A = this chain, B = another copy of it.
Amino acid sequence: MVQRLPPLDSAFAALADATRRGVLERLGRGEASISELAGDFDMTLTGMKKHVQVLEDAGLVATEKIGRVRFCRLGPRRLEEETAWIARYQAMLEARYDRLGEFLEHTTGDRS
């Protein structure tokens, strides 16, 4: 399937759902078929297929069809770009609090 969304968008969008995060955590304990996942999450096969498709499009899950069964496993995406982006946000937020701290210090110092 062609990847239409920019990578960062598709990864964050895929992670914005508790069931999909749960599927990734489940696959962290080992491979599973889509029907096993549907059973684990008390969901229809169709519903689970959609979630797996979103995860696969985002590169967070790889699937392989063996006979009539489609198996899912984690990867290959390592979320390194996403981690770097969040780290930048955190640094910007820290810098803002630092500037605010300095401002308050100067303001207090100016009071006489």
A contacts with B, residue count (CB < 8 A): 35
**Chain A's interface: helix, strand, loop or mixed, by majority?**
helix
| Chain A residues at the B interface, C-beta cutoff of 8 Å | 6, 8-13, 15-18, 21, 24-25, 27-28, 60, 73-75, 78-79, 82-83, 85-90, 92-93, 95-97
Judge whether B82 and A24 touch: CB under 8 Å: no
Q: How far is the CA of A12 from the CA of B11 in the complex (A)?
A: 9
| Closest 10 A/B residue pairs (Cβ) | A28-B92, A12-B16, A13-B16, A12-B15, A12-B12, A9-B16, A74-B93, A79-B86, A75-B93, A74-B96
Copies in the complex: 2
Which residue on B lies nearest to A95, using beta carbons? B28
Contact A89 to B12, CB < 8 A, known contacts A18-B6, A73-B96, A96-B74? no
